[in-house]
Amino acid sequence: MKAARVRQAPPRVRIFEPHAHMYARTTNDYEAMARAGIEVIVEPAFWLGETRRHAGSFLDYFSHLTNYENARAAKYGIKQFVTLAMNPKESNDRALADAVIAELPRFLEHERVVAVGEIGFDRISPEEEDSMVRQIEMARRVGLPLLIHSPHVDKPRGIRKNLDILKRLGFPMERTLMDHNTEETTDARGGRVGGPHGLPDHEALAGADGEHHRRPRVGPDDGEQRRGLGAFGPAHGAAHDRGVAVARRAREADPPARVG
């Protein structure tokens, strides 16, 4: 069925959603995002809610994100990009992780892929660290940035371990975005994982998923080139609805509001 065209008023602020798991959303959600003024989204590959048992399930999912999901977003005037990786949660099955990581390089060649991710930690296990290290080296080889997942449990320890691994491997911090930050980890990151010339880490999804009620203002304005809005990860239920509401408020503000 052909989607109806969504008329958008000229935006006062341009809105980029850096972390939206739209695989879990309906076309009504795309329409709501378009009406709120969200122009571009990045969809990271991650766990789908049920642990997968076969490598082929991941490969079909990667193809879905880069092809069908891109076409679905385009019907509502939204440009969609993706990050792909073997996620930390399912990396605890080492044989499964080995099989998926072996196939990953050919998917990273797709023109819509803008980073390797989400990688990082869930349980903060040795298996997750091994998967993370291998994919960091893969990102270095193919010349892509990283999207790193911070765990929802014991988050400060997970953030510190993520940073230690990046430093040990010498991966450029200006090509790294750490997601799911809250007020207890923003200071641990020194306020800015990427540094003054890095990715807009002050938009690094404080408030995504289960933390959607926690939206601390993180860091000062860094000038026109770094202004933007992360609507805090439209992924599940209220996180999506509140993210869209944040986008509407920012778009309608006069002068344009900085949301953080």
Compute the average pLDDT of residues 135-162.
94
Helical (H) or strand (E) element with 159: helix 155-169
pLDDT in tens, 182-196: 767 765 544 443 333
Can you give the pLDDT at residue 193?
39
Note the pLDDT tens digit of each residue in 16-33. 888 899 999 999 999 999
What is residue 147's predicted lDDT score, i.e. its pLDDT?
95
Q: Which one has a higher pLDDT value, 134 or 211?
A: 134
Whether residue 33 contacts residue 76, with contact meaning beta carbons closer than 8 Å, is answered with yes
Q: How many domains does the chain have?
A: 1
The reply to whether 113 falls in a domain is yes
Look at residue 57 and tell me if it is in a domain. yes
Residue 115 scores a pLDDT above 90: yes
pLDDT at 181: 75
Domain-embedded: residue 3: no
What CATH number is given to the structural domain containing 247? 3.20.20.140
Is 149 contained in some domain? Answer: yes
- Per the structure, the complete domain to which residue 152 belongs is given by 15-218+226-252
Residue 6 lies in a domain: no
Nearest CA among 194, 213, 210 for reference residue 202: 194
What's the whole-number mean pLDDT along residues 86-115? 98
Q: What is the predicted pLDDT for the residue at 94? A: 97
Report which secondary-structure segment, H or E, holds 72.
helix 68-74
Q: How confident is the model at residue 179 (pLDDT cuts 50, 70, 90)?
A: confident
Asked if residue 260 is part of any domain, the answer here is no
Question: pLDDT tens digit string along 212-251?
Answer: 445 444 444 444 334 344 544 445 555 555 556 655 565 5
* pLDDT given for residue 223 in this prediction: 42
Q: How far apart are CA 58 and CA 86, in angstroms?
A: 8
Residue 1 pLDDT: 54
Three-state secondary-structure class, residue 40? strand
Rounded mean pLDDT, 96-110? 98
Q: DSSP assignment, residue 83?
A: E
pLDDT at 227: 39
Mean pLDDT, rounded, for 143-148 = 96
**Amino acid 206: pLDDT:** 38
Strand order in the sheet with 176-178: 15-17, 38-44, 79-84, 113-120, 146-149, 176-178
Question: What pLDDT shows up at residue 64?
Answer: 97
Percent of the chain scored above 90 by pLDDT?
Answer: 56
Read off the tokens for 243. Answer: 């993210």
In a domain, 257, yes or no: no
Backbone dihedral angles phi then psi of residue 17, each to the nearest 5 degrees: -95, 110
Residue 9 lies in a domain: no
Mean pLDDT of the chain: 79
pTM over 0.85: no
- pLDDT exceeds cutoff 60 at 134: yes
